[in-house]
Amino acid sequence: MDKTTLTPEESLLLITKTIEATKRRFEENGHIIILWGVLMFTVFFSQYIFSITGLYKKFDIIWTVILFPLGAIYQFIYVRKTINRKNLPKTLLLRVITTMGWAMGLNLMVLGFLFSQQLGDAMAPVFIILLALSMIVIGASIEFKPLFIGGLVLNLIGFCTFWLARDYHGFSMMLGAIVGLIIPGILLNKARRNKNV
Amino acid sequence: MFKELDPILHSQLRLSIVSTLMTVDEANFNFIKDTTNATSGNISIQIKKLQEAGYIQVKKSFKDNYPNTMLSITDKGRAAFEDYVNNLNKYINPGK
């Protein structure tokens, strides 16, 4: 591949095609967003089931303490493997999303495990609002409207949760997982697959 | 009047390499190879020419016991690319 006599039109087309091809290679396929949505839904749905069957005290710790860190470990391995497999380069966008993802994840875990007493009834709304912020930023960064809108709706759910009794906070989390993560994640996955066909 | 197009950039593979590097902070040799679909030998030659022109920076190291060549665009390369694109636009739209 080396042609020295390019016309100006060919040169511009080559530049456009190369930049498009480069961008496509590090596009997020929604896998991680779906993973966290399903994880979040599973944790709160199972907690609800345990609470109505009277098993809550036995199993809540197992789900929360094991499933979320397990998700974080899976994400770490998945991201590393993807970067190595695709030889992904360093980009500003990738750096922003990765740093924000980890910072947000760690903050949510610290809040959940160390400050749940202090936060009391505000725990779930704060959790949802922080999650919503990251979805809004990611949606805007990768210019994917459903994710951005999902983040806004999640943000709204977070504020509305302040008005709900604590017993219903789990439902807000489940709704938030579906609207803010699972649906936009699936749409993102579909959009990327269609683009790659 | 039309300015002459930069001969360093006015080659398919070199232009492809520089266009790729314009979108990223830095990329390794294999990423460039996958993006351009060119052979390793050809890429190496063009990288050397771009490096000699001061358009790209090449950092060689080892990663998991394998050689790892990282490439990034320099300020000079960025300016040359922007100049090149501006000149292309003048050729395509001479009135503007």
Query: pLDDT digits over A122-171, tens only?
Result: 988 999 999 999 899 889 888 889 999 999 999 999 999 999 998 888 89
Contact B22 A19 (CB under 8 A): yes
> What local confidence, expressed as pLDDT, does residue B22 receive?
92
Nearest by Cα to B81 from A115, A14, A30: A14
DSSP H or E segment with residue A148: helix A145-161
Q: Which residues contact A82 (CB under 8 A, 6 or more apart)?
A: A88
Q: Where are the domains of chain A?
A: 20-196
> What local confidence, expressed as pLDDT, does residue A59 receive?
62
B64 shares contact with chain A (CB less than 8 Å): no
How far is C-alpha A164 from the geometric centre of its chain's CA atoms? 25
Size of interface A-B (CB pairs under 8 A): 86
Identify all chain A residues contacting B16, using CB atoms and an 8 Å cutoff.
1, 14, 18
User: Mind listing the pLDDT tens digit of every residue in chain A (197 residues)?
Assistant: 555 577 888 888 889 888 888 877 766 678 888 998 998 898 888 888 887 887 766 666 666 677 878 888 888 888 888 777 767 777 777 788 788 888 888 888 888 888 888 888 898 899 999 999 989 988 988 888 999 999 999 999 999 999 999 888 889 999 999 999 999 999 998 988 776 54
Give just the sign of the alpha carbon dihedral B54, B58, B59, B60.
negative
A85 shares contact with chain B (CB less than 8 Å): no
Question: How close is the nearest chain A Cα to the Cα of B57, in Å?
Answer: 15
B40 shares contact with chain A (CB less than 8 Å): no
A116 shares contact with chain B (CB less than 8 Å): no
| Mean pLDDT in order along chain B per 10 residues (96 residues) | 79 93 89 89 95 94 84 95 90 75
Distance CA B50, CA A77 (A): 35
Structure tokens at A42: 């599973």
SS3 state at B25: coil
- Under a CB-based contact definition with an 8 Å cutoff, are residues A101 and A150 in contact? no
> What local confidence, expressed as pLDDT, does residue B70 receive?
92
Mutate to test the interface with A, among B5, B6, B12 (most CBs of A within 10 A): B12
> What local confidence, expressed as pLDDT, does residue A193 receive?
79
pTM above 0.90, yes or no: no
C-alpha separations of A114 from A107, A108, A173 in Å? 10, 10, 19
Q: List the domains of chain B with CATH numbers.
A: 12-91 (1.10.10.10)
Identify all chain A residues contacting B36, using CB atoms and an 8 Å cutoff.
1, 18
Structure tokens at A52: 């109505």
Torsion region of B64: left, alpha or beta (phi above 0 gives left; psi -120 to 50 gives alpha)? left
Residue of A nearest to B94 (CA): A8
> What local confidence, expressed as pLDDT, does residue A192 receive?
80
Task: Name the A residues in 90-109 with CB < 8 Å from any B CB.
Answer: 90-92, 95
